[in-house]
A and B are shown apart, each in its own frame.
Chain A
Amino acid sequence: MDRVAIVGVGQTKQERNKIGETFADMVYEAVLKALEHAGMGITQIDNVVSASNDFWDGRTISSMAINDACGSYDKNISCVEGDGTFAAFYGMTRILSGSYNTTLVVAHCKGSESDSAHITNAMFDPIYVRSLGLDAITSSALQARRYMDTYGITEEQCALVSVKNHGNGLNNPYAQLPMRISVEDVKTSRMLADPIKLLDASPISDGACAIILAKEEYAKRITSRPVWIRGIGYCADAYHLGDRDLADCKALEDAAQRAYRMATISTPRKEIDVVELYDAFSYQELLWSEGLGLCGRGEGGRLVESGATSMKGDIPINPSGGLLSAHTVTVAGLVRIAEAVLQLRGEADKRQVKGAKAALAHGVNGPCGQSHCVWILGR
């Protein structure tokens, strides 16, 4: 199989309310930055895949709002609805198909214009579940409780994730909530849905992110620092929460195994230098770490306690501050890829993990991590 590289990334600062900017404004900024990063002009982009969600945008055909802004005029274009990691997968296949040389992938969302509780409630079955009021926070609370009960994960261990990631956010100029906080701050923050408290949850954010993918020979011409896609896998679990054991994340395990197989990785903890994963809630970083095979089942709590996932540890997770520091829906996974690229190019400034050669980026769709996408990138 041919190889595909990421040759440029661009992101807006993620903020609580970009009141002065439309979807198109944000996308334009991210795309310009990605082109500049790659040293390319828009005429060198031969096709575009956007990621957006009609519910979050309040627009049917949400891709229509940004076609001008992403420079897709007179180009082939498509739109994946869901997290940016999935859109980037499709963007990659368009190159591997032999049809295109360079794919621009761009995601946008404005949480500030949305009603998260209603929009995420619309994920659930309209007959049996929706009227119970389940949404992203309350369903995740069920999962957090089930996970904590099954493996004896503590509130303090979850809080440590929040402390670490908000602290990492201090080093990331694009993060929305860089904060120096304590476990006590997290534990005493306002209860949202037991056991999830305000500082266990990711914020509502506005932003956009763009990456540029290129075919091998093209990538080598564009940049001396291409970041190669070594592996990619995605997988979806059962829909109804009652059909899953929420303490498990089988779809993530499957997605990770697909990505590791493709990247010929057998011991991820040793072979991966930095991880950017989808920590929409603090407990998720622990659970997803297990699903990714960075530790054994039920060991996520001890992993964060050991300091292994801190900037100084052997497997730093979310040097960017993660979703806890900024969570723009659909954009979040693409930001994980962009951050992984910066790490591998040695361009992550204060949040740089020294000598990173292999990075993992992760995205999620659906309730309680129903569908996961895992990327392995290398330089």
Chain B
Amino acid sequence: MSNRVAIVGTGQTHHKTRRLDVNGVELIYEAVTRALEDAELTMKDIDAVIIGNMDHFEGINYVDCWSIDGSGGFMKPTLKLTTGGTTGSTLAIAGYHIVASGMFERLLVVGWEKNSESDTTAAITTAFDPIWDRLVFAGAISGLAVEASAYMATYGATERDAARVAVRDRRHACLNPYAHLRKEVTIEEVMASPMLSDPLKLLDLCPRTDGACAVVFASEYVAEKICPRPAWVLGTANRHLYTYLGDADFLGLPSLKRAAQELYAKVEISEPLKEIDVMELYLPYSFAGLSWIEALGLCRPGEGPRLLWDGVTDLGGELPINPSGGVISCNPIGATGLIRCAEAALQIMGKADKRQAPDVRIALSSGFGGCFWSDLLVYGAKKPA
């Protein structure tokens, strides 16, 4: 029978636009040592390592091999996963399955990125088909701008509604010592920031960040012994629906809707707004904070703005979203999805300090990337049956 799995330790680097004080391996080492310290383990206790990033940002091939001195994978089973923006959540989902399989008891999961070494948009552009998509409609921002326009046109939402999401996440980030952008912004500042791709403005979007995150996944036999309050992984689901941008449905993020339907059924959640206590969502831009919470079933399509303005998703509201400050405040791409996982786990473990939401029993984290793809994990304070 498969093992139950819990997160028993997390670590992240301090995040900046340029971490010139460390190279990539040292950046990874920083996150790994913090995760081990948090779990009160040493590298000797770790059975295996998985790691991920996006190759074309740093130009390192076979990162699993290159990073051994930082990841601690020397003479251990080590493998690499990468799926673009979803890399971090892909790693978390793999961490769960590999430990649940019984092959390893303690697995170290590492996501990292040194965006400062990259031409991010050029690298992302190469993800798309060289004949049909790449020359006309690629990169990260253009597709999101279309999604935002479709959402506004369909439901009458405004750019100010979206700005409210950026205001929330940036306010939360001030409570998180690890966040990259720790400065509040106002609706007016968001509205007045430079236009990048209509209707998206600079402050609607995530930054480029250098950083790494490490998470220790453990089997139930280990977790209960070494951790007073482990974050149990209750389930995972993902959908990578599209290959071509031209095939994507730009309204309502169907990949997230489908993944959420599967996962809620699996973990028996019927009213997510009521039953989930906190969410750490990969919202790379402000409009996602309106539309994608609808895909997650928190409200009906078009009602996202009302939840935002009512403060439902603020820390202190009914369902706090991104107490960490989210992706708009910090985005080391290969680590970003794993940071969502780590922050959700911290909330369950009661270790989120000033950004702690009250009485967290159930938490959810997401990943976004590729061609409008979505990954999801749900965590619980109570060991699953």
Contact = CB atoms under 8 A, between A and B. Distances in A.
Interface of A: 1-2, 24, 53-55, 58-61, 63-68, 72-82, 86, 89-90, 92-99, 119-120, 122-123, 125-127, 232-239, 250-251, 254-255, 258, 365-367, 370-371
In the A-B complex, the 4 residue pairs with the smallest Cβ-Cβ separation, listed nearest first, are A366-B65, A98-B2, A96-B101, A61-B84
Interface of B: 1-2, 23, 52, 54-57, 59-69, 73-84, 90, 93-94, 96-98, 100-103, 123-124, 126-130, 236-243, 258, 369-371
Contacts of B123: 60
Contact of B96 (A89, A97, A125): A97
Contacts of A255: 77
Contact of B83 (A1, A79, A232, A239): A79
15 contacts: A63-B84, A66-B243, A74-B241, A78-B90, A80-B81, A81-B64, A95-B101, A96-B2, A119-B61, A123-B60, A127-B23, A235-B77, A365-B65, A370-B62, A371-B78
Nearest to A90: B94
A65 B129 contact: yes
Contacts of B100: 93, 96-99
A81 B82 contact: yes
A59 B98 contact: no
A90 B64 contact: no
Contact of A99 (B54, B60, B97, B369): B97
A248 to B, nearest CB: 12
A68 B63 CA distance: 27
A30 to B, nearest CB: 17
Contacts of B65: 123, 236, 239, 365-367, 370-371
Best-buried of A75, A89, A99 by chain B (most CB within 10 Å): A99
Nearest to A240: B69
Given A64-B240, A64-B371, A99-B236, 18 more contacts: A53-B61, A55-B55, A60-B84, A61-B82, A63-B240, A73-B241, A74-B239, A76-B237, A78-B81, A78-B90, A81-B55, A94-B101, A96-B2, A122-B60, A123-B60, A235-B76, A238-B69, A370-B68
Contact of B79 (A53, A86, A250): A86
Nearest to B80: A81
B305 to A, nearest CB: 29
A207 to B, nearest CB: 20
A97 B61 contact: no
Contact of A126 (B1, B56, B57, B60): B60
| B59, B63, B238, B240 interface centre (most CB from chain A within 10 Å) | B240
B80 A80 contact: yes
A156 B48 CA distance: 39
Given A60-B56, A74-B239, A81-B82, A250 B101 contact: no
B77 A64 contact: no
B77 A122 contact: no
Contact of B127 (A64, A120, A123): A64
A243 B103 CA distance: 29
A230 B227 CA distance: 33
A65 B243 contact: yes
Given A79-B90, A98-B2, A122-B60, A93 B68 contact: no
A64 B66 contact: no
A52 to B, nearest CB: 9
A61 B129 CA distance: 11
A27 B136 CA distance: 26
A376 to B, nearest CB: 14
A311 to B, nearest CB: 33
Nearest to B102: A1
B66 A123 contact: yes
Contacts of A237: 68, 74-75
Contacts of A78: 81, 83, 90, 93-94, 238
A131 B73 CA distance: 26
Nearest to B73: A236
A81 B61 CA distance: 10
Contacts of A72: 240
Contacts of A234: 77-79
Nearest to A69: B243
**Residue with the highest number of chain A CB atoms closer than 10 Å, among B74, B100, B101, B236:** B101
Given A236-B74, A365-B65, A96 B102 contact: yes
A29 B258 CA distance: 28
A236 B64 contact: yes
A53 to B, nearest CB: 7
B3 to A, nearest CB: 8
Contact of A125 (B2, B66, B84, B103): B66
Nearest to A82: B80
B84 A93 contact: no
Nearest to B81: A80
B255 to A, nearest CB: 9
A366 B64 contact: yes
Nearest to B63: A81
